[in-house]
Chains A and B, each alone.
Chain A
Amino acid sequence: MNLKDISTSVPRKDHKGKVSGQLPYISDVKVENMVYGVLFRSPIAYGKIKSIQLPDLPEGYEAVGAEHIPGPNYVKIIKEDQPIFANEWVNYIGEPILMLVGENLDVLYRLLDEVKIEFEEHQAIYTLEEAIKQKSAPGVNMANYEFGESLDTITSIELKAHQIIEEEYDTGYQEHVYLEPQGMLAIYKEDEIVVQGSMQCLYYIKNALVNALDCGDDDVRVVQSPTGGGFGGKEEFPSMMACHVAVAAKAVKKSVMLVFDRSEDMVVTTKRHPAKLKYRTAIDREGNILSMCIEIFLDGGANVGLSSVVLQRALLNSAGVYKIPHFHAKGYVLKTNTVPNGAFRGFGAPQSFAGIESHIGHLSKLANNDPLEYKRKYLVKQGDPTITKGNFRDPILMEDMIEVLLKSSNYKKKKQKYHQLNQQNQRYKKGIGTSLFLHGCGFTGSGERDHIKAKVKLAKSKDDQVSLKISNSDMGQGILTTLSKIVAKELDLPLENVLYPYPDTKEVPDSGPTVASRTTMIVGKLLERAAKKLKAQWQTGVEQEVTEDYVHREMIPWNEKTFTGDAYPAYSWGVNIVEVEVDTLTGNIKLEKVFANYEVGKVIDDRVMKGQIDGGLAQGLAYGYLEKMTSKEGKIQQKSITDYGPPTSLDVVSIQSKVFDNPYADGPYGAKGAGELTLIGGAPAVQAAIEDALQIPFQQIPITPEVIIESLYVREGEQG
């Protein structure tokens, strides 16, 4: 492949199968001797199982539960607190207790209604507020970290400060709504179980299966099916489903398929953590920041899962893109008896950026400064320390990106114009707002070196086709194309001679999970190096194989205990400007214009990048004002797509975006991470725009029409 510039777009490798609908997702697959599984789930939030009474099962129908698990009864992730089948305590409504398997779904659903379980109910914790109150009770605090300047120093600064500003900020659930509901199939064979399905992380699943089945490495095999969207929702959750189908397949000696209904998917799968963020900032007479203390509380739900890592990222991003003098932060993951929360594009950062952008915006008012001008005063520069005493060692282009965006959006003029318009129009108010953000690429700290240890393989066939042997999933983000492109360009091969079959753990080494905006940067770099190696030893017409292992770039070593060092090898950056119109009669928000500049090192494919920008922003903007999910007494209230309300084509507007080049030495062609970054700026920019329109500060997202009407109502009351 001979592209002058790697960024030049090429057709997607999987386009044909997708546009015709003939590429089989897991629910399109049928295998011989296949039965369905359905899960009996806990109807109560917290309690002890006293007895289980099964209905008479017809011939060919069986129940599978904890007693059928050959290994220990937990889904291997970080801690051992997530049962595969709850058999003693249940900790949330919807927790799986047992599975019924059989040929006919209709019969299975009927049998499910006849399962009788007696519980001894215990007092549950339903809300984050309640968990904060009971923070020191046993089991409630599932993880916590604290770092930064000593509190003594901060107290002495606060004593001399002009004013202490305290704010509390709340963020809600976000649901992934990947279009393809979760699905997993275990294919039963005498000598192995093949688990196939919709997933992001093959080896997470494989490790969980080896543990649950108590079997050898060769006894299970994990194969990714075409995956209809992930966004983090298919990071850790599928491991549980994989355990369910694999245990069942082993027990009944048949292949077992488990596919969720949309409402089941919405109610029982992981979501973005609701969070409470507390800010305590000392300012001087002019409104300059003297010190800042932040406390973050994440609602972990009923088990810790990946929540501790999510909290780390939330904390690491808690100061946003700013250099704050005298900064201190601590955070907690607290247990509630609600559906466990987990990975979602951004992984803790969206909550933190929404909070800090909101807080800094409010501080700018006290300083009588335009929010953007105020933010720019504190913007980090190359060479600045990070809040964990790491270093921003690469060039930072944020000032250029802001300047260009100010011009293309006509920000200053519009801001003035809207304020005048708003004086005249009683019903509709226009506003414009900005957000500044970054995303740390890859795993936190030394995770890549110590935990992941990625390995990639390239295999060349006799006819000189080269296959990528990696464990990463294309879930729509386009790595089938972009990673193949890197290899094709490096080897100067036509793109169609580079193959990237859906990964199968029998064939591919562990190149790590498809998460954390690491795939292009880390795996892509390894593939680039592997391709260089293969090129050097290329022999036409001969089968060849090369592998490449992760090499750590030593920076300031990360210490998880003290929370110091370089948390990330590199950062990607972004600036968003959003314009809205608010209907003050209904509180409805109309997006009018969206402008976005990003810096991701080097773009591997312009069209794929634009897809990430538009899709990420649509999710991020909606997180700020549209998508609303709530839980009441442990039950998710919005069980349908419509009730939850992700954006339709009529809710999104066209987005003017530009990506800046700033090649990064340890990424392929200079590329860094891009997938999560694009979501992060949406919510804070939309909040800033709403605040500009209404001249009311908000302390939460989503800022729904209900929140707006309530605020307007309160303001009316105050004004008499």
Chain B
Amino acid sequence: MIKFTLNGKTIETDAPATVRLLDFIREEQLLIGTKEGCGEGECGACSVFVNNLLQNSCLIPIGSIEGADVVTIEGIMESEQFKNLDESYSHAGGVQCGYCIPGMVMASAALLSQNPHPSEAEIREGISGNLCRCTGYNMIVDAINLAAKKGDGLWQKK
């Protein structure tokens, strides 16, 4: 039996320990915001937070997250921080096909919570594990920059 929290809810499961957290989220919990783009940790579409850290859910065997706090895009959707990113992405034109975007938003949130006023280089570094094939990244970088500016106070380091 593996016990952890997912978006604040306690989960107890007897799924085999090797089941990928990604599959558990999508297939068992039916949360579709976490996408699979490569299954090898090379694209970031499956990004989630584990104990507040950005991680690739495709590389996490569920047996290893006993007691952990897991948050998916669905878990932040109602937050002020998400609203800030949502508006900034819209304003900067950061979204095209959309498949990388939930992961990109998670990476953006992870970056801003660590570093509320990142430089352009730090933004590029922060999303460097999140592949996007449509935008060439610049409008996503603009979006995060905008979120940092407009979200002053929202992203204070805890």
Contact = CB atoms under 8 A, between A and B. Distances in A.
Any A–B CB pair closer than 8 Å: yes
A350 interface: no
Nearest to A642: B42
Nearest to B89: A19
Contact of A18 (B34, B82, B101, B120): B101
B119 interface: no
Given A25-B99, A262-B37, A179 B45 contact: yes
Interface stretch (A281-289, A441-449, A470-478): A470-478
A717 interface: no
A358 B103 CA distance: 39
B28 interface: no
A385 interface: no
A200 to B, nearest CB: 12
14 contacts: A19-B98, A22-B74, A179-B97, A180-B97, A226-B98, A229-B99, A231-B133, A261-B39, A607-B139, A614-B137, A615-B96, A619-B133, A642-B42, A652-B138
Given A179-B35, A229-B133, 13 more contacts: A19-B86, A20-B33, A21-B33, A179-B45, A180-B97, A227-B97, A229-B97, A476-B134, A477-B134, A611-B134, A611-B139, A649-B132, A649-B137
B86 A20 contact: yes
B93 interface: yes
Interface in B122-136: 123-125, 127-136
Contacts of A478: 96
A569 to B, nearest CB: 27
Given A231-B133, A262-B40, A655-B136, A25 B35 contact: yes
Nearest to A181: B37
Contact of B32 (A28, A228, A608, A649): A28
Interface string B70-97: 0001100100001001100110010111
Contact of A641 (B30, B102, B131): B131
A179 B102 contact: no
A615 B136 contact: yes
B98 A228 contact: yes
A228 B137 CA distance: 16
B37 A19 contact: no
Nearest to B132: A179
Nearest to A657: B138
A618 B136 contact: yes
Contacts of A616: 136
Nearest to B38: A262
Contact of B100 (A11, A179, A477, A617): A179
B128 to A, nearest CB: 5
B133 A20 contact: no
A608 B97 contact: no
A25 to B, nearest CB: 7
B140 interface: yes
A475 B32 CA distance: 19
A610 B93 contact: yes
B93 A611 contact: yes
A178 interface: yes
Interface residues of A, number: 57
A299 B131 CA distance: 29
Interface in B46-86: 73-74, 77, 82, 85-86
Contacts of B127: 649
Contacts of B40: 262, 640-642
Interface string A1-39: 000000001011011111111111101101000000000
A654 interface: yes
Contacts of B133: 176-179, 229, 231, 615, 619, 646
A20 B93 contact: no
A648 interface: yes
Contacts of A18: 95, 97-98, 101
B137 A652 contact: yes
The CB with the most chain A CB atoms within 10 A, among B33, B43, B86, B132, is that of B132
A655 B42 CA distance: 25
A27 B134 contact: no
B99 to A, nearest CB: 3
B136 A614 contact: yes
Contacts of B137: 614, 618, 647-649, 652
Interface string A634-678: 000000111000111110101100000000000000000000000
A12 B135 CA distance: 14
A27 B45 CA distance: 13
Given A261-B39, A610-B93, A646 B131 contact: yes
A641 B93 contact: no
Contact of A650 (B35, B77, B98, B128): B128
A58 to B, nearest CB: 20
A618 B135 CA distance: 8
Query: Closest 4 interchain pairs by CB?
Result: A21-B33, A476-B97, A18-B98, A228-B99
Contact of A15 (B38, B95, B99, B135): B95
